[in-house]
C-alpha cells in the first residue's frame, strides 16, 4: 500500500478531488457509488482516481467506490455528522490520563514531566469534547429511531440498546468526575498549571451539562417505550376485532354493542363557538368602537332578499323502499349443536341443515372455522379420513 509522504501531499490530494469526495460523502448512507459517476467529476487521464485508490483514500470494490473508513470517520467527527456512539474511546482516554499521572510522579526530569502533563491536559480536553458529542449523537439517534424505524420490535430493541449506551456514558461521567476530584487530587494540586486549572473547570461544566441532558434523554426513552407499548397493544386489539368482523362473529363473541351503547364520547362533535361580547370600556372609545359598530351594522343591514328557486317534485320511484336480505351462518349455533351430539365434526357439518344452500367447499370452510374458533370445546384426535379428495382430522366433542 502506498502512503502519503507528508501532510502537504495529503491536503493537496484532498483539495484537488474535493468535488468527488464531497459527492461521495453526501451519498455515504445510500447505495454504493458507481465508478462511472466518479469519472464524471474526475479527469482520469492522468490517473488521479487511481492515485486516491492506491493511497487508500477511497476503496474500489468491483464497479463501486467508497471513502475509506479512516477518512470517513475523520470527516464525520470534524463535521459532527457521525452517528456512532463510542463510549470505549472515553474509557481509553480515562486510562491514558491515569497512566500519564503515574508517569508524571515517577519522572524526575522536568522536561519529561512537562510532556506527561501536556498529555494529561490534551486528553482531558478530548474527554469533554467526546462526551458532549456522544450525548448529542445519542439524542439524535433516539429521535431518528422513534420517528423512522417502521418495525415495532426493532424500534423497541434499538431504544433499549440506546438506553444502555446512556447508562454507559453516565457511568463514564461519574468515573471522570471521580478522577479529577478524588482519585488524583494530589496531582491536580501539585501540578500547578494555569491551563490545567482552566481545562478542569471547563471539563466540569461540560460533564454537568451532559448529566442534565442524559436525565432528559432517560425521560424521553421511557416516554417513547411507553408509546410503543401502547401503540402495539392497540394494533393487536384492532387486528383481533377485524378478524372477528371478517368471520361475522364480532357481535356474538364480544360485548361490542354494550360498550358502544355506554360510550358517550363527543370527539367527533364540532367544537362549540361562543360569541365574544365587547366590553363597555371598548365601546366607549371613539375610533376602534365606531369601526366595529359600522361592521356589525353592515352585516345586519336588511337588503333585497333573493327568491330561492324551488326544486321539482321528487319522483315516486326514488322513494320506493328496496330491501335486500342476506342470510348469515351462526357458527355459535353450529358449535352448540355439535357439542350436544356425538358425531365427528366433519360429518356433522356436512349433514347440518343450514338456513340457506351451502356448497361442499363452503362446508369445508365452516369446518376449518369451527376448529380455529372453538378448539377448546373439541377433542382433536390423530385419526384422519378423506372425502371428495379432502383429507380431514377426526374431531369429537369433549
Mean of pLDDT over the chain: 81
Dump pLDDT digits (tens) for 170-212: 998 888 888 888 767 777 777 767 888 888 889 889 989 999 9
- The reported pLDDT for the residue numbered 353 is 82
DSSP at 371: H
Query: Which residues contact residue 113 at a Cβ distance below 8 angstroms, ignoring those fewer than 6 apart?
Result: 104, 107
- The reported pLDDT for the residue numbered 268 is 58
pLDDT at 88 over 70: yes
Asked if 379 and 395 touch (Cβ cutoff 8 Å), the reply is: yes
- The reported pLDDT for the residue numbered 93 is 86
Query: Which residues contact residue 396 at a Cβ distance below 8 angstroms, ignoring those fewer than 6 apart?
Result: 342, 344, 345, 378, 379, 381
Q: Tell me the whole-structure pTM to 2 decimals.
A: 0.48
Dump pLDDT digits (tens) for 254-294: 888 888 778 777 665 677 676 666 677 777 776 667 777 77
pLDDT at 306 over 60: no
CA distance 349 to 334: 8
CA distance 8 to 51: 15
pLDDT at 78 over 80: no
Asked if 200 and 180 touch (Cβ cutoff 8 Å), the reply is: yes
- The reported pLDDT for the residue numbered 296 is 76
| Bridge partners, residue 387, by sequence | 390
Enumerate long-range contacts of 60-63, CB under 8 Å, 24 or more apart: 60/35, 61/32, 63/34, 63/35, 63/36
- The reported pLDDT for the residue numbered 304 is 54
- The reported pLDDT for the residue numbered 355 is 78
Query: Which residues contact residue 332 at a Cβ distance below 8 angstroms, ignoring those fewer than 6 apart?
Result: 249, 252, 253
Dump pLDDT digits (tens) for 220-252: 888 888 887 777 777 777 778 888 888 888 888
Task: Of 95-109, 142-156, 179-193, 370-384, give the lowest mean pLDDT range.
Answer: 179-193
Task: Of 138-142, 189-193, 265-269, 383-387, give the lowest mean pLDDT range.
Answer: 265-269
Helices then strands (H, E): number in the chain?
18, 5
Residue with more model confidence, 30 or 147: 147
Amino acid at each position: 500500500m502506498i502512503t502519503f509522504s507528508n501532510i502537504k501531499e495529503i491536503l493537496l490530494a484532498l483539495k484537488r478531488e474535493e468535488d468527488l469526495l464531497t459527492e461521495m460523502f453526501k451519498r455515504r448512507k445510500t447505495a454504493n457509488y458507481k465508478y462511472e459517476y466518479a469519472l464524471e467529476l474526475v479527469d482520469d487521464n492522468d490517473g488521479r482516481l487511481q492515485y486516491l485508490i492506491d493511497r487508500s483514500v477511497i476503496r474500489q470494490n468491483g464497479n463501486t467506490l467508497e471513502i475509506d473508513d479512516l477518512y470517513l470517520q475523520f470527516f464525520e467527527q470534524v463535521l459532527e455528522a457521525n452517528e456512532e456512539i463510542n463510549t470505549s474511546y472515553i474509557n481509553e482516554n480515562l486510562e491514558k490520563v491515569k497512566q500519564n499521572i503515574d508517569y508524571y510522579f515517577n519522572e524526575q526530569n522536568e522536561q519529561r514531566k512537562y510532556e506527561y502533563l501536556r498529555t494529561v491536559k490534551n486528553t482531558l480536553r478530548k474527554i469533554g469534547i467526546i462526551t458532549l458529542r456522544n450525548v448529542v449523537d445519542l439524542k439524535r439517534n433516539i429521535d431518528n429511531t422513534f420517528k423512522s424505524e417502521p418495525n415495532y420490535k426493532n424500534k423497541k430493541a434499538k431504544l433499549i440498546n440506546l438506553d444502555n449506551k446512556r447508562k454507559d456514558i453516565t457511568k463514564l461521567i461519574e468515573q471522570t468526575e471521580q478522577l479529577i476530584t478524588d482519585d488524583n487530587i494530589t496531582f491536580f494540586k501539585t501540578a500547578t498549571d494555569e491551563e490545567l486549572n482552566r481545562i478542569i473547570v471547563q471539563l466540569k461544566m461540560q460533564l454537568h451539562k451532559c448529566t442534565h441532558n442524559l436525565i432528559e434523554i432517560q425521560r424521553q426513552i421511557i416516554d417513547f417505550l411507553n408509546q410503543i407499548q401502547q401503540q402495539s397493544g392497540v394494533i393487536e386489539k384492532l387486528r383481533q376485532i377485524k378478524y372477528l368482523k371478517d368471520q361475522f362473529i364480532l357481535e356474538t363473541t364480544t360485548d361490542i354493542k354494550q360498550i358502544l351503547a355506554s360510550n358517550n364520547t363527543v370527539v367527533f362533535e364540532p367544537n362549540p363557538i361562543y360569541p365574544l361580547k365587547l366590553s363597555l370600556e371598548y365601546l366607549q372609545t371613539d375610533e376602534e368602537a365606531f369601526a366595529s359598530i359600522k361592521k356589525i351594522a353592515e352585516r345586519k343591514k336588511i337588503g333585497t332578499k333573493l327568491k330561492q328557486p324551488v326544486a321539482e317534485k321528487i319522483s315516486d320511484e326514488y322513494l320506493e323502499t328496496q330491501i335486500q336480505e342476506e342470510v348469515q351462518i351462526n357458527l355459535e349455533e353450529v358449535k352448540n349443536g355439535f357439542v350436544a351430539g356425538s358425531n365427528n365434526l366433519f360429518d356433522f357439518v356436512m349433514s347440518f341443515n343450514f338456513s340457506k344452500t351451502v356448497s361442499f367447499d363452503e362446508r369445508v370452510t365452516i369446518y376449518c372455522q369451527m376448529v380455529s374458533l372453538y378448539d377448546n370445546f373439541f377433542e382433536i384426535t390423530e385419526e384422519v379420513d378423506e372425502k371428495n379428495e379432502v383429507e380431514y382430522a377426526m374431531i369429537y366433542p369433549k
